[in-house]
């Protein structure tokens, strides 16, 4: 199959008997080009199916009006909501969003950063992948003078704007709730402890256990990717252990769903035998029975604030602007998967 040659400014110029420079000015609504010429150029561009080279334009102008967005996964309501709200705010301000999904892998994340920098994005908004422990690629963004905004999963050492929730306090809320439901052996299905948010959740979990006089049992703290299959695998292991928990705190609703599936398959009464709390307020949490207790992360507000932090950086390119560190108070939504005091 023959590949159709891409129309260039020279092609339009040859058709109309103009110079490529005049065609470029006409397409960019230059005041020295007559309305008649502008109309002729626009008509020829449509007929010849001309598509502007945004990369070339960005190189000339030093501005692309493109913002890169890197998320670990798009298959959660949390990230979908964040993306939607980032895009809404940026679109209103004349920016388009180019999204990349790291799939929680370091390699894909590095490739995405390189690709976004190569197309001259005006900034990058990102949530760090689970695998990432080396932040040199993120430092590369800063070294190039490109605004970097982190949300949900950030890293203090990078010293950039960050928007998230109080992960430490979330663990306190969950443990306190499970203790009020008479849970004595609480397991924590968590993310990888090298990631700041999960490090804070684990720290909050341990401190809350101590606060309520419960022992810290390391065999009940299990790190994972927090997907459904992880919740299933870990829940099976916990049920087979001698130290079976009577309460489970999963640091994602996906992991909580996997755990709940296993509990129901094994005939475990939830919450009477084992109470369960998730994290993230995914929509499926209110569809299944029992409904999953969870943390509402206010994803829409996180998305809006991340976009506004980027715009703040763009508006003050030469001015030293203090870092935007926005930590939102989260909300515990108590549902039937953990509420033993239900009527």
DSSP 107: H
Q: Cα 141 vs. chain centroid, distance in angstroms? A: 18
pLDDT tens digits along 204-261: 999 999 999 999 999 999 999 999 999 999 999 999 999 899 999 999 999 999 999 9
> Can 64-164+299-328 and 167-296 be said to share one CATH topology?
yes
* Topology (CATH level 3) of domain 167-296: Rossmann fold (3.40.50)
Tokens of 55: 């990369």
pLDDT tens digits along 106-149: 999 999 999 999 888 999 999 999 888 889 989 999 899 899 99
Multiple choice CATH, 64-164+299-328, 3.40.50.1820, 3.60.150.10, 3.40.50.80, 3.40.50.2300:
3.40.50.2300
Contact 122, 144 (CB under 8 A): no
Give the number of other Cβ atoms within 10 Å of residue 293's Cβ.
Answer: 27
CA-based angle 208:211:213, to the nearest 5? 110
pLDDT score for 61 = 58
pLDDT score for 45 = 83
> Which residue has tokens 């990230």?
79
CA-to-CA dists, residue 119 to 112, 113, 236, 316, angstroms:
11, 10, 46, 22
Residue 325 φ/ψ, nearest 5 degrees: -115, 95
Does residue 58 register a pLDDT over 70?
no
pLDDT score for 275 = 98
Pairing of strands 331-333, 294-296: antiparallel
Contact 250, 239 (CB under 8 A): no
CA distance 156 to 143: 17
Domain ranges of the chain: 9-52, 64-164+299-328, 167-296
């Amino acid at each position: 199959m023959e590949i159709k040659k891409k129309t260039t400014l020279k092609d339009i110029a040859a058709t109309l008997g103009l110079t490529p420079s005049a065609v470029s000015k006409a397409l960019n609504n230059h005041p020295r080009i007559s309305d008649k010429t502008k109309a002729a150029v626009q008509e020829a561009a449509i007929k010849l199916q001309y598509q502007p080279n945004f990369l070339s334009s960005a190189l000339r102008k030093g501005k692309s009006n493109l913002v890169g967005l890197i998320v670990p996964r798009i298959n959660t309501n949390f990230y979908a909501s964040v993306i939607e709200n980032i895009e809404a705010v940026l679109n209103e301000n004349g920016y388009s969003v180019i999204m990349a999904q790291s799939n929680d892998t370091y390699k894909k994340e590095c490739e995405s950063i390189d690709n976004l920098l190569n197309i001259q994005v005006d900034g990058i908004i990102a949530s760090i992948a689970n695998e990432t422990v080396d932040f040199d690629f993120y430092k590369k963004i800063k070294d190039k003078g490109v605004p970097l905004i982190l949300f949900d999963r950030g890293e203090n050492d990078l010293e950039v704007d960050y928007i998230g929730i109080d992960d430490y306090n979330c663990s306190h809320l969950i443990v306190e709730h499970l203790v009020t439901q008479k849970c004595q052996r609480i397991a924590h299905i968590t993310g990888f402890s090298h990631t700041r948010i999960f490090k804070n959740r684990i720290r909050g979990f341990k401190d809350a256990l101590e606060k309520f006089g419960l022992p810290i049992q390391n065999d009940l703290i299990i790190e994972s990717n927090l997907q459904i299959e992880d919740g299933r695998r870990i829940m099976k292991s916990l049920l087979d252990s001698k130290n079976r928990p009577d309460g489970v705190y999963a640091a994602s609703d996906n992991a909580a769903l996997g755990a709940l599936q296993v509990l129901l398959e094994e005939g475990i009464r939830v919450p009477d035998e084992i109470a369960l709390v998730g994290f993230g307020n995914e929509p499926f949490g209110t569809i299944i029975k029992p409904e999953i207790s969870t943390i509402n992360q206010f994803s829409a507000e996180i998305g809006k604030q991340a976009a506004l932090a980027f715009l703040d950086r763009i508006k003050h390119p030469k001015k030293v602007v203090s870092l935007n560190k926005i930590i939102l108070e989260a909300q515990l939504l108590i549902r039937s998967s953990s509420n033993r005091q239900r009527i």
